[in-house]
Chains A and B, each alone.
Chain A
């Protein structure tokens, strides 16, 4: 079968000693990032980007991919041992993971989280292996109108799937798209550059992402008090009981399927899938009252779901060139910096990057399982670093990472402004992820929209005359109607909370 021979080729790339080293390095950095509060995977991948400039595209993507799914693994450690989620997808693991730690069962919680993540991650890669080339073949039939419609659908789905207000998510996406119009346009005009040479190529995604996700997190948390108690976790305490293994099998399987499906849809799939999995397990349980009190199903399901989702999220980015969340936007920007354009032609033009990366996920999942369990005590000890020492280092690393991308102090200023903006957005209840996605997608969106209008001689009906574009816009309409209905319902029964 073709996918398996392609995978064998990918494994021959991923198993080259240097690539294995970069995969291990990425997984270690990612786990540390996931464990430490204050810097999430988005900022970490952005900051490491300049470190990959000296590498070829395959090694660069393998390293950054390792950081991403390493952070997904590592996030569970702080949730279970401290009740502090290392990253957003691990929030739900706090509920039962920490309760298990309080009962002296931190070890089994950590082991089930690691095994569930490994199983889900590995199965998700198999799914990704079949889904991505199929999606890419479909996307080859896309013209500019279909791409424009698909991007509009992507933004609306991200808004619809976001936990907060859809209106605010769309507003952030529009703001990101607007910022993305800065620089030289497709006809060679300088837009909104005001004579600043650095703006000629537009606002870079790295200073924006580091500002919005890295620096703003530090600004919001720097003044806080000492973290709570850390529960100890020793290697000999890790194995779960037979009963705990048995109780975890179903949640891991269901979490894997749920996570894979939700992750492939635009939006914060890895976060949503963990909540959906938790709700499902609670509903299916014959003792739902145990949830929140230390039920192992409440750890197994969500941890499997968020790891499966983290990997299936690569499908739309690799196959269509459309990132489904902020971290995929950064990964896409990273690939483009290395001269590899994600999209339908990726598999054909850069098979070594595509299949090498897919195969490296298998390697990475195994590395994480081997690393995470024996070294859990070591990673947990990182949590003992006082935050007042940690955050200045993160700030320094933000400055270093952003400067190193282009060797431009101007980008440090952009990071500073974006950090302040991200801090304000956080306070005012806005989610910054759609802004980053809008910024990355603005050039593609503009080109698709303008080419569509040129093709049709200025008629918007081109979007309705082509069946695929019309279907995608039909979905946009349906989602907007659903959202409007929900808003009207909330206005009629409005309580004291915000409506927008």
Chain B
């Protein structure tokens, strides 16, 4: 069992930007190596589908370890500016909603909702500004892309 002191040492050790990112990339490389077991590695004379992923995962782990080892002097994670985190969450939520709703609500309705959320709720724009931009963008972009031959989904109400 790792005690509270042990966790604190780990947190301090991996508390710099390079060490934290190096650790994540080492783990990612190991995961690629692990998952590559699912397909044939082949031989040097006839490399299989796992050949390049294994080589790249090895390179990835090696380079990430170097970043981790030399990462002591990089900025501490706490010192980085994260003040825009609220906006980040809101924007990503908007994009996630769009991915879920595009083929259910249709393109125009989805875009109106996403823009109304970002302009009205997040940025607190005046309702008239919010509605005109959201509806205007959704309708104009739909029309332009249709003219360009790109079909965008329609919702259950044909809108």
List residues of chain A with CB under 8 Å of any chain B CB: 50-51, 53-54, 165, 167-168, 170-171, 174-175, 177-178, 181, 185, 187, 189, 191-192, 215, 218-224, 388-389, 391-393, 395-400, 403-404, 407, 409-410, 412-413, 415-416, 419-420, 423-424, 427-430, 442, 445-446, 449-450, 453-454, 456-460, 491, 494, 496-500
Contact = CB atoms under 8 A, between A and B. Distances in A.
Interface string B6-30: 0000000000011011100100110
A413 B101 CA distance: 12
B148 A181 contact: no
Contacts of B75: 429, 498
A385 to B, nearest CB: 11
B96 to A, nearest CB: 6
Contacts of B114: 392, 395-396, 399
Contact of A428 (B17, B32, B129): B17
B135 interface: no
Contacts of B119: 388-389, 392
A396 B60 contact: no
A409 B99 contact: yes
A273 to B, nearest CB: 28
A215 B95 contact: yes
Contacts of B29: 178
A395 B91 contact: yes
Interface in B63-87: 63-64, 66-67, 70-75, 80, 82-84, 86-87
B153 to A, nearest CB: 8
Contacts, number: 205
Interface residues of B, number: 75
B118 interface: yes
Contacts of B64: 171
29 contacts: A50-B150, A51-B148, A53-B148, A53-B150, A54-B150, A167-B70, A171-B67, A175-B60, A178-B32, A178-B57, A189-B39, A218-B91, A223-B83, A223-B86, A224-B84, A392-B123, A393-B137, A396-B115, A400-B141, A400-B152, A404-B150, A416-B96, A427-B80, A446-B52, A449-B47, A453-B44, A453-B46, A457-B45, A500-B70
Contacts of A494: 73
Given A409-B102, A409-B103, A453-B45, A174 B95 contact: no
Given A50-B150, A396-B137, A427-B80, A412 B99 contact: yes
Contacts of A395: 91, 94-95, 114, 118
A458 B43 contact: yes
Per DSSP, chain B at the interface is: helix
A491 B72 CA distance: 12
B143 interface: no
A274 to B, nearest CB: 27
Given A400-B111, A407-B151, A181 B98 contact: no
A432 to B, nearest CB: 13
Contacts of B148: 50-51, 53-54
Contacts of B17: 427-429, 498
A58 to B, nearest CB: 16
B120 to A, nearest CB: 10
A400 B144 CA distance: 12
B49 A191 contact: yes
B18 to A, nearest CB: 5
B95 A393 contact: no
Contacts of B149: 53-54
A410 B115 CA distance: 20
B53 A181 contact: yes
A416 B151 contact: no
